[in-house]
Amino acid sequence: MQLFILDRNPYRAVEMLADVHVRKMCLETAQILSAVMVINGNLLSENMPAIYNINHPVIRALQSTAKINYTLYYNWALQNEFLYRFEKKHKYYDLAEVYFEKLFVPSEHEDWSFFRNFKDFATETPDIVDAYREYYRFKKSIIRNWHYTKRKEPDFLL
């Protein structure tokens, strides 16, 4: 489970994802937001995905309004990117609005100290976007089915 912070703008970050990540992260991001809902004392509705692991490092890292809000926008962008690329709604498309209603709190503060828990990868890069882009280049080197439907591969990967 991972949020790929490939840009400070969540919509641009999601556009940079390969198809394989757009497909799987619709579910993973919904699971993350379901966990945040439970942590915040909200009940999950029957159509929300079960929580994968409430103690997962990504979920533990979402301890500020700014991080939760980024994840909400990221999830919304993912659902719309899935619709754009594959011309159908993901199973959790309609939940994006529900998560917003339950979890969004306006915040002017930006918090870029996202937890970096890169599996099998280490970086000393201090900028969070640059670090995630390094990690994404690493992921590209090990994933065979790396495609971009209706999008071009981001320049940082070329």
Domains of the chain by residue range = 10-157
Taking alpha carbons only, the member of 150, 101, 138, 149 closest to residue 4 is 138
- In whole angstroms, give the CA distance from residue 8 to residue 120: 24
pLDDT score, position 96: 95
Mean pLDDT comparison of 19-23, 106-110, 112-116, highest-scoring range: 19-23
Q: pTM for the full model?
A: 0.88
Residue at 98: amino acid letter: V
Q: Residue 157: phi, psi to the nearest 5?
A: -90, -15
- In whole angstroms, give the CA distance from residue 146 to residue 63: 32
pLDDT score, position 145: 86
pLDDT at 94 exceeding the cut of 80: yes
Mean pLDDT comparison of 55-59, 61-65, 69-73, highest-scoring range: 69-73
